[in-house]
Amino acid sequence: MLQIFVNANYDFVGKRRWFYLVSGGFMLLSIASIVFRGGLNYGIDFTGGTLVQVRYEKPASVEIVRRGLDEIKLGGAVIQQFGDAQEYLIRLHQVGEKPDALSKQIQDALAKTSGAKVEIRRLEFVGPQVGRDLQFQALYAVLAGMAGILIYVAFRFHFRDGVISVAAITHDIIVTLGALSVTNREISLPVLAALLTIVGYSINDTIVVFDRIRETRAKGIRKGQNWADLVNAAMNQTLSRTVLTSFTVFLSALVLLLFGGEVLHDFSFALLVGVVTGTYSSVAAASLVMDWEMWTRARSRTSGKLPARAEGKKS
């Protein structure tokens, strides 16, 4: 029988400061990268603008595309190779009215300067007004998602767990945004979908640990066992689950990244990062349970030992 972490007995809680340090470090790096790049790099879905995906009949280069665009005074556009050397994305960030018959103009100009047939495969135009509305709504959506999870987890488990869940999600989102920023990817609508999926999914590993803590406590605590042992045991017992469940989703996201095509590339990348950080952060999140308990106990001047029976909340 193939098994991993059968009798795992790692001292997660004892080394929790290292986990906090690494998590905090990644968050700081992420924020630094975002600040360094002048904020989040929103795509046209959020800023307004025009995106045109063109495909040449034979391989071209960014210079050839640029020359074609100069022809119609769009030389300031951002040009990006998209997949192979025949396909390019043209981004016009200028806000305002889209010129009429833009796709036809671009098609003709590109065909003229390259001597090859050019196909307009995709055109997206988002008016500045729609973009602004969306930026606000996106933030609202992510916050609403976290609020929903805070309420659910606090209701099903403990207020403490709800707060820690949201902290873990915030960590995952910030690190994912940081990874997007470091690799210079845009925040588009699909990327936002990935972020919201991370909000809901990355917390699953943490919930599995919370569930185990609750179950162990409900059974009653052995004498002399303290919170550190309890949390450590819960994490070790569920370690295989945490890793395996994340692994299957990681596999799916990896397949999407490799075979899903350019359109889904950033989406898959964000998910991949989110799944990994989500798994990692569950260790720190579970350790936080202990620190929370220590802290509240220290405040009420009681010892770190558990009371003999389970806490009042029935599960």
Range 294-313, binding other proteins (CB under 8 A):
none
Torsion of CA 123, 128, 133, 137, to 10 degrees: 50
Residue 277 in the binding site for other proteins (CB under 8 A): no
Minimum distance, C-beta of residue 302 to other proteins, in the bound complex (Å): 30
Stretch that binds other proteins, among 29-37, 71-79, 221-229, 246-254 (CB under 8 A): 246-254
Stretch that binds other proteins, among 10-18, 60-68, 203-211, 301-309 (CB under 8 A): 203-211
| CA 179 to mean position of chain CA atoms | 9
Stretch that binds other proteins, among 25-33, 137-145, 173-181, 285-293 (CB under 8 A): 137-145
Radius of gyration of the chain (CA): 25
Q: Which residues from 28-87 bind other proteins, rule CB under 8 A?
A: 53, 55
Q: Closer to other proteins by CB, 3 or 303: give it.
A: 3
Helices and strands, counts by H and E, the chain: 10, 4
Q: Among residues 127, 218, 229, 294, which is the contact residue for other proteins, using CB under 8 A?
A: 127
Stretch that binds other proteins, among 34-42, 96-104, 282-290, 302-310 (CB under 8 A): 96-104
Q: Among residues 95, 229, 252, 292, which is the contact residue for other proteins, using CB under 8 A?
A: 252
Minimum distance, C-beta of residue 294 to other proteins, in the bound complex (Å): 25
Q: Which residue has the tokens 């949390």?
A: 231
Q: Encoding tokens for residue 285?
A: 């999140």
Minimum distance, C-beta of residue 156 to other proteins, in the bound complex (Å): 6
Collapsed DSSP state (helix, strand, coil) of residue 106: helix
Residue 197 in the binding site for other proteins (CB under 8 A): yes
Of 28, 61, 24, 33, nearest to 185 by C-alpha is 33
Helix H or strand E encompassing 45: helix 44-47
Residue 215 in the binding site for other proteins (CB under 8 A): yes
Of 200, 188, 204, nearest to 146 by C-alpha is 200
Q: Closer to other proteins by CB, 16 or 180: give it.
A: 180
Rounded Cα–Cα distance for residues 158 and 299 (Å): 19
Q: Closer to other proteins by CB, 48 or 68: give it.
A: 48
Q: Among residues 6, 224, 301, 312, which is the contact residue for other proteins, using CB under 8 A?
A: 6
Q: Closer to other proteins by CB, 62 or 130: give it.
A: 130
Binding footprint of other proteins, residue count (CB under 8 A): 71
Of 293, 295, 283, 298, nearest to 14 by C-alpha is 283
- Given a contact cutoff of 8 angstroms between Cβ atoms, the answer to whether 206 and 286 are in contact is yes
Q: Which residues from 98-117 bind other proteins, rule CB under 8 A?
A: 98, 100-101, 103-104
Q: Closer to other proteins by CB, 16 or 269: give it.
A: 269
Q: Closer to other proteins by CB, 28 or 144: give it.
A: 144
Q: What is the DSSP string of 13-38?
A: TTTHHHHHHHHHHHHHHHHHHHHHTT
Stretch that binds other proteins, among 173-181, 228-236, 264-272, 305-313 (CB under 8 A): 264-272
Q: Encoding tokens for residue 103?
A: 């796709």
- Given a contact cutoff of 8 angstroms between Cβ atoms, the answer to whether 11 and 287 are in contact is no
Rounded Cα–Cα distance for residues 236 and 231 (Å): 9
Q: Closer to other proteins by CB, 13 or 134: give it.
A: 134
Rounded Cα–Cα distance for residues 191 and 174 (Å): 13
